[in-house]
Amino acid sequence: MNCEKCQELISAYVDGDLSKGEARSFRTHLSVCMECSKLAEDFASIVGFCDEAFAEDSIPPNSQALWCRINNIIESEIEETPPVEEETAEEVPHRGFLSGTFSFSPAQAAASVLLIAVVSSLVTIVGYKNFAAPDDSIAGFEAEPSVFEKVLVRLGVAESPADKAQRRLEERKSAIDYWTKRVSKRRVEWDTGTRVTFDRNMDVIDKAVKQYTLLLKEDPQDEISTEMLDSALNEKMELLREFSEL
């Protein structure tokens, strides 16, 4: 089973919908793939949490008693409400426009509406940026961050390009460590030609990684070197992953 197939089956596995054979194959893959294993663990914990929360919320301990209490509270509040007196402009400077229980001024209401609009826009944009944008956009065609995006970064709501690059770098390195271990187990079985070819190609990639790492030490803001390092590490990961299948 490959990672793609495994990740498709995570949901069905957590729900117990897989056949015995599929479940066995799924577990075998999890035992050798850290990435999928972690994903399955996360997914299971989310589903578990949701189930617990839903169970607590949906079935109150005694629903009839709860409704009785709510009714009592409402009735007591109605009884205790003093008769409404005619209000003058001096007593209440401005009454809320919704009902007597609210006392927002139009300015406050407008500010609230504006705040809600801004927050929901922020959430939408951040969500879109984080989840909808393709990760492997074509190098060089990426648009410059807009002023709004820069503000989001300043506010700490969105990831800065440097943080994003650093996160990607860390992800790549941990994936490379994983695949290196897989390859070191497999390579003893390869024929000499395959081993020699693999090493030659790995040398070329490692040289590039070293070169860009040095360049970035001199100039950490060098975008082309950052991009090339990222792409060389990606190549390394791909080479390791594809040869680990042999």
What residues line the site for other proteins (CB under 8 A)?
138-141, 189-191, 193-194, 197-198, 200-201, 204-205, 207-208, 211-212, 222-225, 227-228, 231-232, 235, 238-239, 242-243, 245-246
Smallest distance, Å, CB 193 to other proteins? 8
Collapsing DSSP states into helix, strand and coil, what is residue 217?
helix
Which residue is associated with the tokens 């809600």?
Answer: 116
Pick 123 or 204: Cβ nearer other proteins: 204
Smallest distance, Å, CB 106 to other proteins? 50
Helices marked H in 33-92:
34-58, 63-80
Smallest distance, Å, CB 57 to other proteins? 45
Most distant CA pair in the chain, distance: 98
Pick 180 or 231: Cβ nearer other proteins: 231
Pick 74 or 196: Cβ nearer other proteins: 196
52 Cα distance to chain centroid: 22
Pick 158 or 212: Cβ nearer other proteins: 212
Smallest distance, Å, CB 2 to other proteins? 9
Residue 18: which residues within 8 A CB-CB, separation 6 or more?
9, 12, 26
Smallest distance, Å, CB 181 to other proteins? 18
Count of residues in the chain? 246
Pick 9 or 152: Cβ nearer other proteins: 9
Side chain identity at residue 46, one-letter code: I
As a whole number of angstroms, the distance between CA 3 and CA 83 comes to 69
Rounded to 5 degrees, φ, ψ at 74 are: -65, -45
As a whole number of angstroms, the distance between CA 74 and CA 77 comes to 5
Pick 7 or 231: Cβ nearer other proteins: 231
Smallest distance, Å, CB 189 to other proteins? 4
